[in-house]
Structure 1
Amino acid sequence: MTGPEGPASNEAALRDRLSRLSQASLRINESLEFESVLQGVLDSACDLTDAKFGAITMLGDGRQPDGYVVAGLSSDQARALWDFTEGFEVYEYLGRTREPLRFADFQGHMRARGLPEVPLSAPVGPFLLAPIIHVGELVGTIYLSREQGEPEFSSADEEILVMFASQAALVIANARRYREERRSRLDLETLIDTSPVGVIVFDAADGRVVSANREARRIAAEVHPPGGSLEEALKTVTVRRADGAELSLADHQLSHAFSGGESVRAEEISFETPDGRSVSLLVNATPNHSEDGAVETFIVTIQDLAPLEELERLRAEFLGMVSHELRTPLTSIRGSASTLLDGDLAMDPEEAREFHRIILEQTDHMRGLINDLVDLARIKSGTLSVDAEPIEVIALVNEARNAFRGAGGDNTFAIDLPPDLPRIMADRRRIRQVLTNLIRNAAGYSGDSSTIGLSAEQQDSHVAISVADEGRGIPPEMLSQLFSRYSRLGPDRGSSAEGSGLGLAICKGLVEAHGGRIWAESEGEGRGARFTFTVPAVDEPNLAALVAPGRATARSRQRAPDRRRILAVDDDPHALRYIRDSLQKSGYNPVVTVDPGEVDRLLEESQPDLVLLDLMLPGADGIDVMRAIQVKADVQVIFLSAYGQQENIIRALDLGAADYIVKPFSTAELAARIRAALRKRSQFELPAHPEPFRLGNLSINYGERRLTVAGRTVELTAREYAVLFELSVNSGRVMTHEQLLLRVWGSRETGDSSLVRTIVNRLRRKLGDDAKNPSFIITMPGVGYRMARSIDSGVSRTAP
């Protein structure tokens, strides 16, 4: 522009743009809510450039989508854009660039690049893109467009959008940080609130309760009428310390106690009320100081000692019971022996034999009790050994029934054993002991004329054996406590049952030593009870050959089943020595190491059938090691850990572990768990010549390398066929992105799961498989893909 008004007009336009940019920057700083910030950034970007439509996509950890907002589009249009099955290729092109892009015709540019057209119901024409870069990292992208026929975006539009995107990057980063901090805070609050230990935060200045978790409020309710607040409860109680000192928790005394900043460590105190109620607590208290050193708050944790006191009471009751059980036969033995030795008494031989019989019976009773105590100690220490062998269930049932009858039992039996029940791998004496204990238990809590049911059925790789009675039943609240060492069925139920009460605890230990589990069921009092335990079924070595000759797997031909190679990784040399000896005793070929850094080399050299992996390794997370193993080799992993917390077990199994064994464990349990994992693995091993795969109207002839859908031959590239082959021969199993990359591309160097997604998208188009409602290839979000086993087996309906 050459006229005198040109520079002034340009300057005015520049001032207007800078003013709008400043206002936009202020607007996006008004909130820290992540979604609100993204929407504000997009709306401001549209306003700055006069765009009609817009979208923002954000990248999170692992370069996965972390946010998506739109402007100018309806919710249906936005959903269709996000669900666009071929959109991944477009997104790879647009969403990974670090430079701004500007097109006159969006769809025309896509066609020119050989990319699929985006199915937009809106008439999109000019297009403008700006990356969102924070601290050198691409964290998101702003997409803007106008309707067809509208003016193209100018270089000035591009410049101001790039400037705005750089300012928005910091605001978005702050919002994301705020979101993560809030999530962490909520997680911490949830953890504290659900903790079994009470937590109270006091204001040090006035003794006011700042916050308290659920357990603290529950404990306070023990010494205060329902409906009252925690503060009211604390004002009414007197604290009696271990040294006998008393402290009232009235506000002025509490604040005075806090002012000294004294810490308390594991002190037993009691809360007492004027009406005589009390609760014993274990207390810890820690002051929280300000920057100038003044005490601001006091954090107090309180643990209710009632459960521990109850456990101590049960232990004392247990010791008293054992003492009684030992003294009773000793009294009879001593009395009988004294009578026999009394030279002043004349007795005939029959009377003498009766006294000898009493001595023999009572010594047998004492020996049984002592054996129970020894078994219980071995179970607790993990040193109980079992000598497993293949056994017919019917033989064990008959032996246990005969032993019960031989001891004077009069109950009738209803036996239900299917003829095709497999043999079990068990220690005959120990499992007979379990069955006999359960039968005696059933007889003890039902009448002599009642019927005891004995049944069994196969459950996957185990056989479940049940003992049912028609007796008094079990209250629901007692079911979870039945197998505790110090638990009995209660005085009202146990009066007619003889014995030490150790039977069920020993049964639990014996069953778990075999790699099984035991549980009880009852519909309530007066309705009988059923006790069920599982034992591993025998893995018949010739069964597969008898059923399907010629279908032996490549792995099974390489190595005999009884000499399978097991890799064990544990940083404890003593534990590793025990594992090695247990594996050798069980007929396996162990390969052991204390160094997780040796795993890759040992996987390559030994090619193990299974890996035993310690969860806690020095300098390495067991979960990460497992993931690396599963990418490197197609092998099952069993975790060994001294940590039996449920969340650890669930996490390990969810992330792909075949099993989780809590230390200490017996040789028999370890062997049983390994056999079960190898059996599951064998279900998925490939035969030397796979039979054709059929799923609905889809058929794959592996020998001819031919794919048909509804009778129509479908041509595939070598890469497409390789991916389909891996998915189909492993149908029903989840194949991770890493596994497919390794097996199909033969390398993990790129680590780019987009390669897999692109091939799967092409396969779906050729198979006519709807990504929104798939019949063949099911997406497992964030993990990989799974080929359905039947048309109705798909559970995920999420497109990549």
Structure 2
Amino acid sequence: MQTEDVLRRENVVLRERLSRLTEATLRIGEDLELDAVLREVLDAACSLTAATRGGMTLLDDSGNSLEFISSGLTEEEHQTVVNLPSGPEFFEYLTAMTEPLRVVDASTDLQSLGIAELPFSVDSFLYAPIRHHGRQVGNIYLGNKLGESPFTADDEETLSLFASQAAMAISNARRLQDEQRARADLETLIDTSPVGVVLFDAQGGKPLSINREARRIIDHLRDPDQTPEELLYLISYRRSDGRQLSVAEFPLTRSLTTGETVRGEEIVLQSPDGREVSTIINATPIHSDDGQVVSVVVTLQDLASLQQLEQMRADFLAMVSHELRAPLSSIKGSAATLVQSGVTLDPAAATQFHRIIEEQADHMQDLITDLLDVARIEAGTLAVAPQPVEIGQLIEAARSSLHSLAAGGDMTIDLPPDLPLVMADRRRISQVLVNLLSNAVRHSPDASPLHLSAQTVGVQVEIRVKDEGDGIPEEQLSQLFRKFSQSPAASGGSLPGSGLGLAICKGIVEAHGGRIRAESAGLGRGATFSFTLPATEVPGTPEPVVLPQVVSEIERGTKRRVRILAVDDDPQTLLHVRDALTRAGYEPILTGDPDAVGRLITERRPHLVLRDLMLPEVDGIELLDLVPELRELPVIFLSAYGGDRRIARALEHGADDYIVKPFSPTELVARIHTVLRRWTMSTAAEPNEPFVKDDLVVDFAARRVSLADNPVRLTQLEYRLLVDLCKHAGRVRTHAELLRSAWGPAHPGRSGAVRTVIKQLRRKLGDNADQPSYIYSEPRVGYRMAQPEPLDATHR
């Protein structure tokens, strides 16, 4: 009878164990999200065995630990376990075990394994591997059973059975996670593809999915109130030869109705109002298991860029053939004369013909060299090797090269004695100077003087070449540095030149991290070409007081702790930026999601932000205003366009510099270096004591502006401009001085930018332009800040 009671009790206990095990198994299968499954598995293991502490590691396919989660540990205890010096060896020791392990006196056994003392006591210990189809996917570790009793054999058996069930749940969750990640990667790849992709439903012919490029093409053709479905019924189709297509002949219709796969058909899509897009279209049906068409994938490639490239190629071939034909004709004519004349030709005339052949051959060699340089610049592969060098040496070398050309006029050179060294590739910068001086001589009257000067501007040196020659119309200034662009005189054919020289100058200067620009008051009033180069050190520059790690690391050349956040929706650009930053020693932080910018700035604390100027769904310039965190960081824009207006708008909204794609790694690193130095230098140069005038207080140390004790929120650009005015209170600051101080040398140089920001500042400070209290206008000159009040004890 007693035996029956014992068996009955054992059966009750066994049924209870099986019931709890079944319940736990069902519970861990309710969720397929991996993190939730892992947490549920560990909590269930602790509950089944009455363990007060637990841990679990997840293993990859190679058996390496991917993640460690814990239960019953404080955050500090968790970190201590993770960072145990002998922890990796201990986990490897247990991972090698294929059977469960139960230890009654755990503290003694842990010490024998060399495990350092844990931040908590472990009386008993239970371990079980999690295996799925013969492969270990994780481990469960339990310690200290409730009631201070040791773990039993039943606990070991229960944990072993549960681990086998948990293996299935974990594998399913990991498989789902892998599928979701692969799907997300595929969706991102399709959405960022430069080719339009549209997925159509076979039943109704409606678009199920439209990627970004396809949406751009559709938006170009449709009216704002039209849907993509409505547009399909309104647009007309024709082939590239002009033949109209019926709806039945359109690739999508053929794939939907016949299941035909259509490849590479060149079709022009035209809206009712005449807007059109030339495309190459592919259509691929997707079949079900029974052979029915369930959907159709259509790809559209906009041919506009290819057509533009074809036109550029034709223009290029026309230019090259024209430029090569002239010297070839001279060479052929001179050679033919020498051959035909034989010994009867006068020696002086023969010498002249030989000289013509040599000069024209040199001209052809120069043209070929220029073409190769332009190709390298456009590919972003122009190599420069900057070294510290004196400006005077560069200018003297260029002047010597131009001695015969400039003999007709005087050249004045104005170089300050304290001019710092610059980082420059001697050969390349000499090439820039020779090009600019040659250009000035060609477009100036005989005996007209040239003026060459240099000055320090922030952390850069600006070099200026000024002539009193033909001048340049204002509307042509923005086009001057484009390939094949020439001045009006040159384009008329009276002067030599392929139109490549200034484009090459721009590429070389920008590869050094500088900027080049042209100024002219108009035709007949001369022109000034100026470019900047990074200075190695600026005399009199105070030590930086913010971002000290950035400056010290830059000056040491390590940059290991300098973090750069790059935001671009183009994966290839991000890869290019990542490789360039990594090779230069920076720490890159990459994202293609504009919405993640604020979070990444808060979490990763970058020192500088690289941003694409054109982002999906949000303008890169607008994001400067939408993300407050960007106001406290230097920002460099990456732009596929070099238009002055858009770049000026970006700079006026607080950007510190810009880079036009494609760009070389050398230019990218040089620009980052220059912007960081300029930022730290401008901050270091701020006054120590606050500026106080009536209700306005500018606290430079706290970087805080208040009006009647109420904080005033300023953009970084507005703050820089206000600081400059306060530093020079009582003195007039010209538009040019304010541009250099607040925007740096990157700005195209128009005073309208200053007026725009001054207007914003006045509005935020409640300052009336007609009767100002703080910022006074000096017509056609600049602006002046009112003198501050003497500081009292409150503001010191």
- For the aligned pair, the TM-score class normalised by the smaller chain equals 0.5 to 0.7
Specify the alignment match of 2:515 in structure 1: 521
Letter in 1 for 2:197: V
1:216-274 per-residue CA deviation (whole Å, 9 max, x = no partner) reads 11111111234754334444322212354434669999546532223332322211111
Q: Cα gap change, 1:492/1:333 in structure 2, threshold over 3 Å: closer, same or farther?
A: closer
Check whether the contact 1:54–1:72 (CA below 8 A) recurs between aligned residues: yes
Q: In the alignment, is residue 530 of structure 1 matched against residue 531 of structure 2? A: yes
Structure 1 residue runs without a partner (length 5+): 336-352, 535-643, 659-672, 674-800
Per the TM alignment, residue 43 of structure 1 is displaced from its structure 2 partner at its CA by 1.7
Specify the alignment match of 2:25 in structure 1: 25
Check whether the contact 2:198–2:214 (CA below 8 A) recurs between aligned residues: yes
Superposition RMSD in Å: 5.6
Q: In the alignment, is residue 57 of structure 1 matched against residue 57 of structure 2? A: yes
Per the TM alignment, residue 531 of structure 1 is displaced from its structure 2 partner at its CA by 6.3
1:4-33 per-residue CA deviation (whole Å, 9 max, x = no partner) reads 111122122222222222222222222221
Structure 1: how far apart are the matches of 2:280 and 2:175? 38
Specify the alignment match of 2:302 in structure 1: 304
Q: Cα gap change, 1:423/1:247 in structure 2, threshold over 3 Å: closer, same or farther?
A: closer
Check whether the contact 1:469–1:530 (CA below 8 A) recurs between aligned residues: no
Per the TM alignment, residue 58 of structure 1 is displaced from its structure 2 partner at its CA by 1.1
Check whether the contact 2:472–2:487 (CA below 8 A) recurs between aligned residues: no
Specify the alignment match of 1:278 in structure 2: 276
Q: Cα gap change, 1:470/1:230 in structure 2, threshold over 3 Å: closer, same or farther?
A: farther
- Aligned 1:369-388 pairs, distance under 5 A: 370-375=364-369
Letter in 2 for 1:287: P
Check whether the contact 1:466–1:533 (CA below 8 A) recurs between aligned residues: no
Structure 1: how far apart are the matches of 2:130 and 2:577? 38
Specify the alignment match of 1:164 in structure 2: 162
Per the TM alignment, residue 432 of structure 1 is displaced from its structure 2 partner at its CA by 5.4
Q: Cα gap change, 1:177/1:361 in structure 2, threshold over 3 Å: closer, same or farther?
A: same
TM-score, normalised with respect to structure 2 = 0.52
What is the total number of aligned residue pairs between the two structures? Answer: 512
Q: In the alignment, is residue 240 of structure 1 matched against residue 241 of structure 2? A: no
- Aligned 1:61-460 pairs, distance under 5 A: 61-120=61-120, 124-146=122-144, 149-226=147-224, 228-242=226-240, 244-247=242-245, 254-255=252-253, 258-322=256-320, 370-375=364-369, 397-408=395-406, 412-414=412-414, 433=431, 435-440=433-438, 451-453=451-453
1:503-561 per-residue CA deviation (whole Å, 9 max, x = no partner) reads 2566799x89xxx9556515897896426699xxxxxxxxxxxxxxxxxxxxxxxxxxx
Residue 201 of structure 1: SS of its match in structure 2? strand
1:440-498 per-residue CA deviation (whole Å, 9 max, x = no partner) reads 45778999767445799xx9xxxx998655799999x999x9988x4648989989996
Specify the alignment match of 2:47 in structure 1: 47
Structure 1: how far apart are the matches of 2:481 and 2:464? 17
TM-score, normalised with respect to structure 1 = 0.52
Residue 402 of structure 2: SS of its match in structure 1? helix
Check whether the contact 1:455–1:467 (CA below 8 A) recurs between aligned residues: yes
Letter in 1 for 2:364: I
Structure 1: how far apart are the matches of 2:83 and 2:199? 48
Structure 2: how far apart are the matches of 1:227 and 1:361? 70
Structure 2: how far apart are the matches of 1:174 and 1:489? 67
Per the TM alignment, residue 109 of structure 1 is displaced from its structure 2 partner at its CA by 3.3
Structure 1: how far apart are the matches of 2:373 and 2:66? 50
Structure 2: how far apart are the matches of 1:96 and 1:445? 82
Check whether the contact 1:201–1:298 (CA below 8 A) recurs between aligned residues: yes
1:77-134 per-residue CA deviation (whole Å, 9 max, x = no partner) reads 43443344553344344454333222234334323444211113xx653321111123
Structure 2: how far apart are the matches of 1:482 and 1:196? 30
Structure 2: how far apart are the matches of 1:250 and 1:226? 27
Residue 406 of structure 1: SS of its match in structure 2? coil
Q: Cα gap change, 1:326/1:141 in structure 2, threshold over 3 Å: closer, same or farther?
A: closer
Residue 185 of structure 1: SS of its match in structure 2? helix
Structure 2 residue runs without a partner (length 5+): 334-347, 521-527, 536-570, 586-664, 666-796
Residue 4 of structure 1: SS of its match in structure 2? helix
Q: Cα gap change, 1:305/1:49 in structure 2, threshold over 3 Å: closer, same or farther?
A: same
Check whether the contact 2:86–2:114 (CA below 8 A) recurs between aligned residues: no
- Aligned 1:627-642 pairs, distance under 5 A: none
Q: Cα gap change, 1:368/1:305 in structure 2, threshold over 3 Å: closer, same or farther?
A: farther
Per the TM alignment, residue 275 of structure 1 is displaced from its structure 2 partner at its CA by 0.9
- Aligned 1:681-692 pairs, distance under 5 A: none
Check whether the contact 2:248–2:254 (CA below 8 A) recurs between aligned residues: no
Check whether the contact 1:286–1:298 (CA below 8 A) recurs between aligned residues: yes
Q: Cα gap change, 1:334/1:371 in structure 2, threshold over 3 Å: closer, same or farther?
A: closer
Residue 51 of structure 2: SS of its match in structure 1? coil
Q: Cα gap change, 1:376/1:293 in structure 2, threshold over 3 Å: closer, same or farther?
A: farther
Q: Cα gap change, 1:358/1:652 in structure 2, threshold over 3 Å: closer, same or farther?
A: same
Structure 1: how far apart are the matches of 2:248 and 2:532? 54
Q: Cα gap change, 1:656/1:400 in structure 2, threshold over 3 Å: closer, same or farther?
A: closer
Specify the alignment match of 1:13 in structure 2: 13
Per the TM alignment, residue 148 of structure 1 is displaced from its structure 2 partner at its CA by 7.1
Check whether the contact 1:223–1:278 (CA below 8 A) recurs between aligned residues: yes
Per the TM alignment, residue 400 of structure 1 is displaced from its structure 2 partner at its CA by 2.1
The range that moved more, 104-113 or 491-500, is 491-500
Per the TM alignment, residue 310 of structure 1 is displaced from its structure 2 partner at its CA by 2.0
Check whether the contact 1:235–1:248 (CA below 8 A) recurs between aligned residues: no
